[in-house]
Amino acid sequence: MARTADARTRNEALYLDIRAQLLRGDLSPGQRIRTEDLCVAFGVSVSVVREVLTRFTAQRLVMSEPNKGFRVTPITVEAINDLCLLRSELEGLAVRLAVERGDVDWEASVIAAHHRLANAPRPSIAADPQANERWSILHSEFHAVCASGCGSPRLCAIRQDLFDEAEIFRQYARLYGGERATTQEHAAITGAIMRRDAALAEELVRAHVERTARATLDAWNRPNRENAPANS
């Protein structure tokens, strides 16, 4: 039993480590994931690494290629547009339902999440990587909390998967000038929620998602993208 528990702990640690690397942008879109390095670092077998990476393929964060192994899902214009469409619909729906259904405790959690995010240093290329990661975590938590009052665990789970997928794109865009000033947008979303204006909250969230997608596309189309780190 102890060995089984230890194995599960190592497997989960591996999953969480890879997930953090993906969401921080440590692993670039299209980059090959070296399974042998993960085996050594975590003291697990190749089959365990493949099992964990397969979990990410289901979330579309990683892709599997026959006879080539695993890669971080690459960025394409089609992928950005498709993801934007889905996120805009589902983020908007989740927040609208949350405003209609959420209770006072949910309102308080939104205020707290926004306060933490608003007071965190904005990410920048030159800043402390830990500060950037901290902001990204708080950003994810803010949007998750805003949606959490919708009353649909399934909708929340799908929404989070799409958010994580978009986060890889956002981190990549940040490196090439695609970072946006979103402080006022988050404040406006919070304000609409506090006023219980479901239609406005939905509209603001949709616009927020769509602006981020446009910033990602702009960064993707910039000439300096050709100087991106190698994806091998």
pLDDT of amino acid 177:
60
Provide, rounded to the nearest whole percent, the portion of the chain with pLDDT above 90: 41
Residue 146 has pLDDT above 50, yes or no: yes
Look up the pTM and report it: 0.78
In tens, the pLDDT along 44-85 reads 888 888 888 988 888 788 888 888 889 988 888 898 899 999
Q: What's the average model confidence in pLDDT over 118-127?
A: 72
For tokens 């926004």, the residue is: 114
Q: In order of start, what are the domains of the chain with their CATH numbers? A: 2-72 (1.10.10.10), 77-224 (1.20.120.530)
